[in-house]
Amino acid sequence: MAIDLHAADTRVFLFHSPNAASDPGGALDTVNQWLSKDRSGGAYADLRVRDISVGSDGMGGVYTTIVCS
């Protein structure tokens, strides 16, 4: 998949949930908390999520990558 983004306006955030296999319900709690954060009064008020991908770390955990602009 290709995403057309300008480098100066792009931010990539990486989250690691090492215990995803043993706690599937809580594996993305940190990601969900970050996504629901109120940014309206801060420097990133116009931050928009462009892509979210989840991949295995090979040891029972997951990496979540969020691309924003």
Q: Are 2 and 42 in contact (CB under 8 A)?
A: no
Q: What mean pLDDT do residues 43-51 have? A: 86
Q: Which amino acid is at 61?
A: G
d(CA 14, CA 8): 18
pLDDT for the residue 60: 92
d(CA 62, CA 45): 28
pLDDT higher than 70, residue 4: no
The pTM of the full predicted model, rounded to 2 decimals, is: 0.78
More confident residue, 21 or 3: 21
